């Protein structure tokens, strides 16, 4: 039922939207371009946009100083690991909250969310001491556990809003057929919930990938992800814009690409509960 629109209006909207889109994206584009410049070109005034001597020197320099792939792999393990573990714990909880709500369900949910509002640094020393005693410092397992716990409230809440929209009658029907609780979850609920779960998964991978407090403070080298990789380029001596840009590009590229490919999915799940 598309309405007829004059081409003029369409062109006007296109120009406006592209301008805004370009402005939003510009800092990332600029970082990307700068990563191929020499340090001198990076601070040239007036700035050079495209016509400079493109060089891979910064990437070589960054790679020769820090092992990108080890950091990258740690980021992957930590963000995927914590998200999967989180889902494993959260799916049953969200299911229970959505289908057998009690008076206190809302309170429990809000309480969970409020744990996320605590400034992490206040608990750093206690956690550091626990990690030291548990031998968990600089271990991926330790980080996976911490990030799982940090993002668990968001996971539970997202899944809850999603599950709530699944009509109860379907479950009733399944129960009539004599399905057990486990079967109910596995065969009836899960397939219906896949889009919501997928979107929760994506959002949490993004959040875990970008988490920079615990990952920085609880690791040294073996488990250090890309957030610590960036910390060694943040303000060295001398000119550093180009090297910083190269390191930044390397740190954000994987997650931006993943995000782009999955953005439709991401939004669909996020807004399922929010949009009727």
- Within 97-156, the residues that bind other proteins by CB under 8 A are 97, 99-100, 106, 108, 110, 112-130, 132, 134-139, 141-142, 145, 149, 152-154, 156
- 91/94 Cα distance (integer angstroms): 5
Nearest to 88, CA basis, from 223, 190, 174, 211: 190
Nearer to other proteins, 78 or 137 (CB): 137
Nearer to other proteins, 1 or 50 (CB): 1
Contact call for residue 8 and other proteins (CB under 8 A): no
- 105/89 Cα distance (integer angstroms): 17
Stretch that binds other proteins, among 50-58, 76-84, 189-197, 260-268 (CB under 8 A): 260-268
Chain positions 202 to 241 lying near other proteins, rule: CB under 8 A, are 206, 209-210, 212-213, 216-217, 220-222, 224, 226-228, 230-241
- 187/194 Cα distance (integer angstroms): 11
- 130/132 Cα distance (integer angstroms): 5
Per-residue exposure over 244-262, b if at least 16 CB sit within 10 Å of its own CB, e if not: bbbbbbbbbeebeebbeeb
Contact call for residue 181 and other proteins (CB under 8 A): yes
At 209, is the secondary structure helix, strand, or coil? Answer: helix
Chain positions 67 to 96 lying near other proteins, rule: CB under 8 A, are 89-90, 92-93, 95-96
Stretch that binds other proteins, among 30-38, 51-59, 76-84, 186-194 (CB under 8 A): 30-38
58-64 long-range contacts (CB < 8 A, ≥24 apart) are 58/242, 58/243, 58/245, 58/246, 59/35, 59/246, 59/250, 61/243, 61/246, 62/233, 62/243, 62/246, 62/247, 62/250
- Smallest gap, in angstroms, from Cβ of residue 272 to other proteins? 9
Contact call for residue 186 and other proteins (CB under 8 A): no
* Contact pattern from residue 33 through residue 52 relative to other proteins, giving x for each residue in contact according to CB under 8 A and a dash for the rest: -x----x---x-xxx-----
Nearer to other proteins, 76 or 258 (CB): 258
């Amino acid at each position: 039922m598309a309405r007829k629109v004059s081409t003029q209006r369409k062109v006007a909207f296109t120009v406006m939207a592209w301008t805004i889109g370009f402005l939003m994206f510009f800092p990332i584009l600029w970082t990307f371009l700068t990563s191929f410049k020499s340090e001198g070109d990076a601070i040239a005034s007036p700035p050079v946009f495209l016509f400079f001597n493109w060089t891979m020197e910064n990437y070589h320099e960054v790679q020769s100083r820090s092992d990108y792939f080890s950091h990258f792999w740690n980021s992957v393990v930590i963000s995927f690991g914590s998200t999967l573990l989180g889902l494993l714990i959260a799916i049953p909880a969200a299911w229970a909250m959505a289908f057998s709500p009690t008076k206190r369900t809302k309170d429990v949910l809000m309480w969970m969310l409020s744990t996320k509002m605590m400034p992490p640094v206040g608990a750093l020393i206690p956690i550091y001491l626990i990690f030291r005693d548990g031998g968990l410092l600089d271990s991926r397992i330790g980080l996976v556990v911490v990030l799982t716990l940090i993002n668990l409230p968001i996971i539970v809440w997202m899944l809850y809003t999603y599950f709530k929209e699944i009509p109860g009658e379907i479950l009733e029907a399944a129960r009539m057929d004599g399905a057990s609780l486990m079967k109910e979850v596995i065969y009836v609920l899960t397939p219906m919930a896949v889009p919501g779960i997928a979107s929760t998964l994506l959002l949490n991978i993004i959040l875990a990938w970008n988490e920079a407090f615990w990952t920085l403070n609880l690791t040294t080298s073996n488990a250090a992800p890309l957030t610590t990789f960036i910390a060694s380029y943040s303000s060295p001596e001398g000119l550093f814009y180009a090297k910083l840009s190269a390191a930044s590009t390397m740190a954000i590229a994987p997650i931006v690409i993943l995000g782009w490919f999955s953005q439709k999915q991401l939004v669909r799940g996020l807004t399922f509960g929010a949009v009727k």
